[in-house]
């Protein structure tokens, strides 16, 4: 049976007016004792993720685990990541899963990365670095049913050190990357870009450059991005095209036994605020 493509899953969720991406970035030290008591780290991480997913799936456009949090826990963490991906696909098959891994290497190495992300972990999409050029990303780009989300303007305060460097005295580097994604790398229609909510002017600039392509927008919630400003700058001509990511403000809304219900309440609040500002 052929799997549903990342872009098809996104479109269906957007049609349901869902725009919130929940980051699944587990930190065992922040888990309540009811999750950690008497079980392995693998079980604790998976059970925590499962509780968050079950509590928020009705308002989630997508889920986005960051690989660093799982790699930090070695084999147990990676098994938990695989189980999390499998659980979402089985329990909520309409919801895409994005691996925030920021992969980027020479083409030969990216063949291995693409196989690991798409075939072994069964992710619907992955974030990638553009630094080695478009040819190096071909192992990702060639997977027509998978999403390739290219870093353009990231949400961290130091992003401008390189991303804002002038290119040809006309554009900044992040703008040049956005142009390449939209005009050269998106031949299979499976590309998206990352632009942080903490840079609304740059977000609006990128939207004007890339047309209706999807934009993954981190920086809402704990990082302080403004939802109204983000939506105004980022939505496409169809009133969609945005994947607004939030993590810590949702999954750690409470560190007590009510963590799942607190996560649900915060996710619902954010989802409603997004809808109000569309």
Distance CA 75, CA 189 (A): 34
* DSSP category for residue 66: B
The reply to whether 102 belongs to the active site is yes
* Rg from Cα positions in the chain: 18
Structural contact between residues 73 and 80, judged by C-beta atoms closer than 8 angstroms: yes
Contact status, residue 269 vs residue 22, Cβ threshold 8 Å: no
- Which of 12, 17, 50, 102 is flagged as catalytic? 102
User: Which residue carries 């130091």 as its tokens?
Assistant: 158
Give me the torsion for CA of 7, 151, 178, 148, rounded to 10°: -30
| CA–CA gap between residue 77 and residue 241 (Å, rounded) | 32
Measured CA to CA, the distance from residue 150 to residue 127 in angstroms comes to 6
Measured in whole angstroms, the distance separating CA 66 from the mean position of its chain's CA atoms is: 8
Q: In what order do the strands lie in the sheet with 125-128?
A: 60-65, 20-24, 242-246, 215-217, 191-195, 147-153, 125-128, 98-103
Exposure of 238 in the CB half-sphere (CA atoms within 13 A) = 11
The closest alpha carbon to 140, from 99, 176, 171, belongs to: 99
Active site amino acids:
102
């Amino acid at each position: 049976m052929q799997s549903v493509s990342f872009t098809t899953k996104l479109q269906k969720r957007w049609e349901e007016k869902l725009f919130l991406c929940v980051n699944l970035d587990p930190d065992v030290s922040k888990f309540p004792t009811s999750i950690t008591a008497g079980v392995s780290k693998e079980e604790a991480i998976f059970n925590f993720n499962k509780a968050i997913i079950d509590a928020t799936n009705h308002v989630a456009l997508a889920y986005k685990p960051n690989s660093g949090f799982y790699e930090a826990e070695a084999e147990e963490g990676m098994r938990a990541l695989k189980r999390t991906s499998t659980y979402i696909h089985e329990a909520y098959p309409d919801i895409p899963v994005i691996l925030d891994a920021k992969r980027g290497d020479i083409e030969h190495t990216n063949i291995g990365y693409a196989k690991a992300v798409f075939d072994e972990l069964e992710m619907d999409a992955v974030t990638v670095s553009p630094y080695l050029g478009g040819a190096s990303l071909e192992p990702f780009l060639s997977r027509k049913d998978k999403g390739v989300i290219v870093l353009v303007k990231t949400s961290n305060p130091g992003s401008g050190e390189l991303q804002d460097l002038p290119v040809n005295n006309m554009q900044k580097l992040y703008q040049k990357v956005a142009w390449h994604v939209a005009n050269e790398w998106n031949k299979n229609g499976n590309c998206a870009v990352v632009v942080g909510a903490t840079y609304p002017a740059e977000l609006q600039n990128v939207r004007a450059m890339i047309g209706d392509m999807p934009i993954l927008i981190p920086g809402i919630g704990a990082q302080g991005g403004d939802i109204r400003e983000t939506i105004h700058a980022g939505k496409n001509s169809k009133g969609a095209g945005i994947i607004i990511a939030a993590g810590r403000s949702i999954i750690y809304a409470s560190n007590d036994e009510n963590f799942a219900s607190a996560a649900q309440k915060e996710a619902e609040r954010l989802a409603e605020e997004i809808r109000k500002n569309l």
